[in-house]
Structure 1
Amino acid sequence: MSKRFALICVLLGVLGAQAVAKEIDIKFLESKPKGLARDFYIWRFLSDENTSLQDALKAYELVHRKTPKLKALLEQKGMPHELPRDLQCARLDFKTLLAQDLECVSYGLKLSQVPHLSPQNLKALKAKIAPNKNLSTKVEILSSKTILTKMLQSDAKTFAQIYNSLTQKQRETLINQTIKPQRLKKLANENTPAFDKMLQGIILSDSLPRFKKSLLNAHITKASPYTLFLLGINELMAKNTNNALAYFRLAQSTSKDTFLHNKALFWQYLVSKDKKLLSKLAQSTNVDIYTIYANQKLQSTPQYTIITDFTPLSKKKPPFNIQDPFEWEILRANLLQVSDTKALDELTQEFAFVDSLAHMAYVHNRATRYQNNYFLSPFAQKIKWKNTDQKALTYAIARQESNFLPALISTSYALGMMQIMPFNVVPFAKSMGLKDIKLEDMFNPVIALEFGRFYLGELEREFKHPLFVAYAYNGGPGFLRRTLGQKKLFIKNRKYEPWLSMELIPYEESRIYGLKVLANYIVYEELFGNNITLEQLLKTTLIN
C-alpha cells in the first residue's frame, strides 16, 4: 500500500468508525466533513418534524450549498425569516419601490413594467436610477417607441438581459419581428454567453418564428460552437443546405469538446453524404452515437478503446467503505490533489478489488488522461436479469448517472449508482414488495441496481424505446409526455429524422443525456452478445 493511500485510509478509518448513526443529530452532523453528503443528512434532519427550531438553525449553519429547499424547511420550523434585500425589494409594488434607495430600486425594478409606466412615473424612475448607467440604459430602451430598434443598437449583453426580463407575451409582440440579418450577426459575433443562450432557446422553440427566420443568412462566425451548430440546424430546417454545412464546419473546427466535434462532423456527412467525412468520424477514439454509426455504416474496426474490467481483482473487502458517501467525498478530494500521472497509475492498484471496480476506473481514467472508454458492469452476477436488453439499458443508465460509483449524491440529493430521488424510494420499495428500506440503501450497489431496474421497467412499459426511456429517466415522464404529445418530433418521412428531432428536444440536459445513454446501450448490447444496428433501432423512434 502506498504511503499516500495509507494516509487516506487512516483518515477514512477514523471517519468510518462513526459512519453509521442510529439517528441523525447535531453531534453526528458536526462530525462530518463539509460537502454534499452532509447537506443531504442536514436536509433529512430539517425534514424531521421532531427537530426543534434551535437545532435546525445550528444544522443550517453547517450547510455547504444553501438551497431554497433547505430555507423552506427552516421556515416550516417557524424561523423568523428575513428575506435578503434583493428579494425584499423584488416584492414591493412600484410606488413603494420608488420611495426606496437606488440599490433597492435596482434590485426590485421589473423591467417588463417599464413600457407600461405613465410619463410621470417614468420621469421619476429615470431620475432615481440616473447614477446607475447600466440600468438607465435598459430603462431608456424600454421606454422608447422603437424598443427593438434600440435593443439592436445596443450590445449583445444588454439585448439578452432585456430579452430575459420580458414576459413571453412581450417577446412575441416586441421581439418577434423581421430583422436585418446583419444586425443580428453583429450582436452574435460579440460571443456573449447570455446572447448565445438566448439564440439557442429561440432556435429550439417555435414561439418567435420571425426572429428565428431573421437568423437565416446572417453568416455568424464568432458565436460559441454549440450556437453555431444550432444555427446550422436552423438553416437546414429552412433548406439552406450550403449555409448549414458552413455552420457545421465552423462548429467542428472551433469546438474543443469531442462530442460536439463529432456531432458537427456527423451532420456534415448527413447533409452532404460525403463518405470521406464518415471515414474521418470513424477514426475518433471517443465512443458516442456518431462514431458508432460511422463504424457500423462503414463496417470498420472502431479506433476507440473500451475497457470492461481489470484483472486480477481481489475478492476481499476494499480498505474503505464503498457505501459511505462521506468516505467517497474525502477519497475523491484527496485523489484530485494528485496530478502526476505516474503517481495516479501507482494508486490505481490500491483499488484492485471486485467491489471497488468503479473507483479503480475513476483513478485509471485520470492516470491515462481520459483516453479510454470504460464500460463496466459491476455486481452483474448478483442480479437476476430478465434479459440482455434489461441488463444493457440498466448499465447504460448507471454509466451516465454515476459512472457506477455507489455512494454518489447529487446536488438535488439523487442517491447512489442509479441516482434515485429520495421521494421515489418508499413508493418503489412498496411496489417491489420490499420492507424496511432506508434511503441509505440506495448506496448499496446491488439494491440500487434493483431499484433502477424496476423504474426502467415502469418507463419501458409506457415509452417502449430505449431512447425515450432515457429521456424520461432524466427529465421525468411528464416532460416526455408533453414533448411527444405535441407531435412535432420524431416525424415519419421528414428529412434527417430522427437525427433532427434528437437535436430539437427542448430540455438541454435530457437532449444530451438521451444521446449518450443510447450510445451506452448499443455498446453494452454488443458486450453482452447482442449486436444492434443503430440505424435500424433509430427508425423505430418515428412515431408521428
Structure 2
Amino acid sequence: MRRFLLLLTFVCFIQADEVKSTQNLEDSSSIQELLSLEKGIKRDFYINEYLKKDINPEEALTALGLVDNLKNEMFYNFAKKFKHDETFAVAQCMNMSTKDLIDSYADCIVIGLSLEEASSLSSIDLDLIMQKTSEKYPLFTKKLKVISSSIPFTKLIILRKDDFYDIFLNVNKNFRAKYFNYKLPKRTFAKIFDDKKRFDNFLQKSLSNPKLNILNKSLLDIDDKNLSVNSSFLLALNAIRFNDLNKAFIYLTNIQNKTTDKKINDKILFWKYLITKDNTILDLLADSLDLNLYSLYANELLGNRLQDYNFLQRLESFDTQLKEYNINRVALLYSIAKVKSNFDSNKISEDFEIGIMQLKNGFITNINTIINENNTLSLDQFSIENSLKFANIHLNNLAKFDTNILNIFLAYEGKYELLKNNELFFKKNTFEPFMSFELISNNKNLKEIIMYKYLYQNYLTKKDKDKIKLSSIFETLIEYDHKENE
C-alpha cells in the first residue's frame, strides 16, 4: 500500500498543472502556520486537520507536499479536496469494503485488497478476483493462487523468500493456523532464516498462535547465535511452552550475553526464576535499580513492601479536576496519562492521538456533539481539563470492562478485540499471565499500565490493609478469562 501512496503522490503533482487558483498560497495564514512547523508527526497532524477544512485543490496539493509520513486517512482527506477523478477513485478503493472490492475492477482490487482480507474469502470469490487481475497484475494474482490452492503450504514453501514472508506474515491468523501448521523443509527454513529481521516477525506471528503447534515444535532447536535478543526470547518462551526448560534456560542465558540493557536483563532474570524457582535469582531481581513490573513483583514475592511512593509524578491540575472521582478512577487516569503521554499535554502520537490522555480528535468531536457543547473547533483539545473530561466520558462508556485493567486499557485504545478474540491469552497454567504479557503485541504498554495502576492506586490509598497486590491483579486477569469461557 505504501508504494501506491508514493506513486499517487507523484501522480498528484503531475496533475497539479490542471488546478487553477489566483490565491498566493505562501500568503495563506494556514499554509504559513504549517510551514512554520518542523517536519514530523506534529506537522502531519495539523496538515490532516487542514485538509478537513474548506480549502481549494491547490491549497490541498501544497499541504500534501509538506507531509512527512503519508497515511491513508490523510490521502483520503486530500483526495476529497483535490477534486481529481482518478485520485479520488484511488482513495475510494483504499477505503472500500472487501465485499465491494470483489465486484470492482482490477486496479481497484489491487489497491484496496490486503492479503489479510483475501485469506478470509471463499475460493469462489478468489477465483473471480484472479480472473480480473491475472493479466494486468500477475504477481498479485500469483499470491492469491497460493492462498486459494487446495494445500497452500506446499505452494508457500517453494516461493522466493520475499513472497514467502509477504504471504505468511500478512494472511489472517486463522488462515495461518489452518493451512501453515507444518514443519518447514530444511531448504525453506534456510532460505527464510537468512533474513533475520523478517525471521523475527515470523517467530512473533508463529509463536503467538498456539494452534501452530506443529510448526512451533519444529522451532525448538534453532541456533540463536546470530539472532536478535527478541528472537532468542521468543525461542525461550516456545521452549517453555513445550516444557523444554533446559533449552529455555540456555536461550535466556544467551540473551544475557547479547545485551546490557537493564530492563531486558530484569525480564530474563524473572523468567529464569519462573522456570527454576531459584530464590537467589529473585533476590538479584528485587535489588534491581530499574523500576519495572518484574522487579516490583520480585519484591512482593519476597515480602518486601514499597514504603515510599513519592517518586511518582503528580499534577496539581489533575488532582483539582478529579476531586469528585474515587481512588480507582483517579489511579486509572493517572496510569493512562503516564503510559500514553508521559504527562505531556502537547503530545501527538503517530496515530494522531492528542493531549495528555491521547484521544482521537474525531472521538472528541463526536462526544462533544453528543453532549451539545460548543463547536469542537473552539475547544482547546490539548488542555488537561478537556482531555480529562473526554477521557472520563470514554471510561464511563467502558464500565462493562471494569473488572479487568487490561480490557479497560485495550478498549480505551479501541483494541479490545485484540485480547477478546485471541485464544492464547491468560489461560490457567503455570506461566500465566506472564506468557501472555510477552506475546501480546504492544506488550510494553500492557505491562506498564498494570504497573502504574498498582503504584498510583497504592499511593492514593491511605490504609495499608486497602492497598492492592500485583498477585491479585494477575489472578483477576486469569479469572476473568475463565469466567468468559464458562
Q: TM-score, normalised by structure 1?
A: 0.65
Distance of aligned partners of 1:281 and 1:432 in 2 relative to their CA distance in 1, 3 Å threshold: farther
User: Which of 224, 228, 237 is residue 228 of structure 2 equivalent to?
Assistant: 224
What CA distance in whole angstroms lies between the structure 2 residues aligned with 1:476 and 1:241? 33
**Alpha-carbon displacement from aligned partner over 1:485-515 (angstroms, at most 9, x marks no partner):** x5x53234x222222333343xx12x22111
How far did 1:275 drift?
0.8
What CA distance in whole angstroms lies between the structure 1 residues aligned with 2:386 and 2:135? 59
Aligned residues of 1:42 and 1:59 also touching (Cα < 8 A): yes
Distance of aligned partners of 1:266 and 1:409 in 2 relative to their CA distance in 1, 3 Å threshold: same
User: Which of 422, 435, 458 is residue 500 of structure 1 equivalent to?
Assistant: 435
**Alpha-carbon displacement from aligned partner over 1:392-421 (angstroms, at most 9, x marks no partner):** 111111011111111111222211011110
**Alpha-carbon displacement from aligned partner over 1:5-49 (angstroms, at most 9, x marks no partner):** xxxxxxxxxxxxxxxxxx97444434544433332232222223x
How far did 1:63 drift?
2.4
Distance of aligned partners of 1:159 and 1:262 in 2 relative to their CA distance in 1, 3 Å threshold: farther
Aligned to 2:470: 534
What CA distance in whole angstroms lies between the structure 1 residues aligned with 2:430 and 2:326? 34
1:47 aligns with 2:52: yes
Aligned to 1:276: 280
Aligned residues of 1:408 and 1:417 also touching (Cα < 8 A): yes
Aligned to 2:317: 379
How far did 1:433 drift?
6.7
What CA distance in whole angstroms lies between the structure 2 residues aligned with 1:523 and 1:235? 33
Q: Which has the higher Rg, Structure 1 or Structure 2? A: 1
1:59 aligns with 2:63: yes
Distance of aligned partners of 1:73 and 1:255 in 2 relative to their CA distance in 1, 3 Å threshold: same
Letter in 1 for 2:197: P
Letter in 1 for 2:393: F
Distance of aligned partners of 1:168 and 1:412 in 2 relative to their CA distance in 1, 3 Å threshold: closer
Q: Please list, as runs of the form range in 1=range in 2, the aligned pairs for 1:258-277 lying within 5 A after superposition.
A: 258-277=262-281
What CA distance in whole angstroms lies between the structure 1 residues aligned with 2:455 and 2:295? 11
**Alpha-carbon displacement from aligned partner over 1:359-384 (angstroms, at most 9, x marks no partner):** xxxxxxxxxxxxxxx63435233213
1:516 aligns with 2:459: no
1:454 aligns with 2:393: yes
What CA distance in whole angstroms lies between the structure 2 residues aligned with 1:75 and 1:437? 24
User: Which of 421, 425, 428 is residue 360 of structure 2 equivalent to?
Assistant: 421
Q: Please list, as runs of the form range in 1=range in 2, the aligned pairs for 1:201-350 lying within 5 A after superposition.
A: 201-218=205-222, 220-300=224-304, 308=311
Aligned residues of 2:322 and 2:330 also touching (Cα < 8 A): no
What CA distance in whole angstroms lies between the structure 2 residues aligned with 1:514 and 1:520? 10
Higher relative contact order (CA 8 A, sep 6+): 1
Distance of aligned partners of 1:54 and 1:296 in 2 relative to their CA distance in 1, 3 Å threshold: same
What CA distance in whole angstroms lies between the structure 2 residues aligned with 1:248 and 1:423? 44
Unpaired stretches in structure 2, ≥5 consecutive residues: 1-27, 92-105, 112-128
User: Which of 164, 168, 176 is residue 181 of structure 2 equivalent to?
Assistant: 176
Letter in 2 for 1:228: S
Q: Please list, as runs of the form range in 1=range in 2, the aligned pairs for 1:160-199 lying within 5 A after superposition.
A: 160-161=165-166, 163-164=168-169, 175-179=180-184, 190=194, 192-199=196-203
Aligned residues of 1:185 and 1:219 also touching (Cα < 8 A): no
Distance of aligned partners of 1:159 and 1:91 in 2 relative to their CA distance in 1, 3 Å threshold: closer
Unpaired stretches in structure 1, ≥5 consecutive residues: 1-22, 118-143, 309-373
What CA distance in whole angstroms lies between the structure 1 residues aligned with 2:179 and 2:475? 40
How far did 1:232 drift?
1.9
Aligned to 1:112: 143
**Alpha-carbon displacement from aligned partner over 1:132-188 (angstroms, at most 9, x marks no partner):** xxxxxxxxxxxx99656656xx87x675356447787885677432347x7788568
Q: Judge which range, 474-483 or 268-277, deviates more.
A: 474-483
**Alpha-carbon displacement from aligned partner over 1:261-281 (angstroms, at most 9, x marks no partner):** 322221111121111111111
User: Which of 445, 470, 476 is residue 409 of structure 2 equivalent to?
Assistant: 470
1:445 aligns with 2:384: yes
How far did 1:244 drift?
2.3
Percent sequence identity over aligned pairs:
24
Aligned residues of 1:24 and 1:41 also touching (Cα < 8 A): no
Distance of aligned partners of 1:68 and 1:437 in 2 relative to their CA distance in 1, 3 Å threshold: closer
Aligned residues of 1:233 and 1:244 also touching (Cα < 8 A): yes
Q: TM-score, normalised by structure 2?
A: 0.72
What CA distance in whole angstroms lies between the structure 1 residues aligned with 2:195 and 2:302? 37
What CA distance in whole angstroms lies between the structure 2 residues aligned with 1:262 and 1:439? 47
Aligned to 1:70: 74
What CA distance in whole angstroms lies between the structure 2 residues aligned with 1:145 and 1:417? 47
Aligned residues of 1:401 and 1:419 also touching (Cα < 8 A): yes
**Alpha-carbon displacement from aligned partner over 1:45-74 (angstroms, at most 9, x marks no partner):** 2223x3222322222223233222121122
Aligned length: 413
**Alpha-carbon displacement from aligned partner over 1:511-543 (angstroms, at most 9, x marks no partner):** 221111111111212322353211122111122
User: Which of 383, 387, 398 is residue 337 of structure 2 equivalent to?
Assistant: 398
Aligned residues of 2:156 and 2:164 also touching (Cα < 8 A): no
Aligned to 2:24: none
Aligned to 1:357: none
Distance of aligned partners of 1:186 and 1:499 in 2 relative to their CA distance in 1, 3 Å threshold: same
What CA distance in whole angstroms lies between the structure 1 residues aligned with 2:110 and 2:416? 34
What CA distance in whole angstroms lies between the structure 2 residues aligned with 1:502 and 1:55? 46
Letter in 1 for 2:415: G
Aligned residues of 2:146 and 2:156 also touching (Cα < 8 A): no
What CA distance in whole angstroms lies between the structure 2 residues aligned with 1:253 and 1:439? 55
Aligned to 1:489: 425
Letter in 1 for 2:382: F
Q: Which secondary structure state, in structure 2, belongs to the residue aligned with residue 540 of structure 1?
A: helix
Distance of aligned partners of 1:113 and 1:460 in 2 relative to their CA distance in 1, 3 Å threshold: closer
What CA distance in whole angstroms lies between the structure 2 residues aligned with 1:276 and 1:186? 40
